[in-house]
Structure 1
Amino acid sequence: MSTPLIKEFNYNVPIEKVWQALTDKDKMKEWYFPQLKQFEPIVGFKFQFDDSSAEYQKEWIVTKVVER
């Protein structure tokens, strides 16, 4: 597939909470990925999911890290 899937969302919360939801494994599980097993903000890291009961398998790879 050559066309990326892009989704945009607006949340009525402080930006710090959104950043945590994008970078902290436990917050990621709480906000939107309960099946997340492992995540590291390292270029080349492959997310690990428990997809055993999912309709489809996910394959996500960290391609860029910008330290703030």
Structure 2
Amino acid sequence: MRKPIIVEQRFNTSTETLWKAITEHQQMIQWYFENIPDFKPEVGFTTQFLIENEGRQFTHLWKIVEVIPNKKITYTWQYKEYEGESIAVFEILEHKHQSILRITCEGLETLPQDIPEFTRQSCQGGWDYFIKQRLKDYLVE
């Protein structure tokens, strides 16, 4: 098992506001993936949606496996077209009137290593983009 990808970002917002941004469908489509058809922070909930990149299709398959309201949500992340499964853990920590979001992504090595989007560099860049740019900008608006 390889070292997980970990991305952290501080936000000048409450843990409740941050939780809603990462778990409420109408907010998620503003900063995350705009074509998520539905999302519920409930264990067992599943959703799927298609992302295309450079002629390749990536049907995202998410399944919620753990929920601690306002603190943590974990989901498996698979693709219909490819073998393997990763896990994304979103943890919210409180620190001096700020909230910290920590994303831990594990299992990347189970995905096909000959697909550019599954490289460690690509995944790290993706999480940095979504959390440190898109979500940060969304919560500042």
- TM-score, with structure 2 as normaliser: 0.38
Whichever residue aligns with residue 46 of structure 1, its letter is T
Instruction: Give the aligned length.
Output: 65
Structure 1 residues not aligned, in runs of 5+: none
- Displacement after TM superposition at 1:57 (Å): 1.3
Could you tell me which of 51, 56, 59 is aligned with 2:61?
Answer: 59
- Displacement after TM superposition at 1:23 (Å): 1.1
> Identity across aligned pairs (percent)?
28
- Displacement after TM superposition at 1:12 (Å): 3.9
- Displacement after TM superposition at 1:13 (Å): 3.9
**Is the CA contact 2:43–2:64 (under 8 Å) kept in the aligned structure 1?**
yes
**Is the CA contact 1:39–1:48 (under 8 Å) kept in the aligned structure 2?**
no
Residues 1:12 and 1:25: Cα distance change in structure 2 (over 3 Å) = same
- Whose RCO is larger (CA < 8 A, sep 6+)? 2
Residues 1:35 and 1:62: Cα distance change in structure 2 (over 3 Å) = same
Mapped partners of 1:4, 1:64: distance in 2: 21
Mapped partners of 2:35, 2:3: distance in 1: 22
Mapped partners of 1:57, 1:6: distance in 2: 21
* Structure 1 ranges of 4+ moved more than 2 A: 2-7, 15-18
Residues 1:12 and 1:41: Cα distance change in structure 2 (over 3 Å) = closer
Q: Is residue 2:35 matched to residue 1:35?
A: yes
Structure with the higher strand share, 1 or 2: 2
Q: Which structure would you say has the larger Rg?
A: 2
**Is the CA contact 1:47–1:60 (under 8 Å) kept in the aligned structure 2?**
yes
- Displacement after TM superposition at 1:67 (Å): 2.6
- TM-score, with structure 1 as normaliser: 0.69
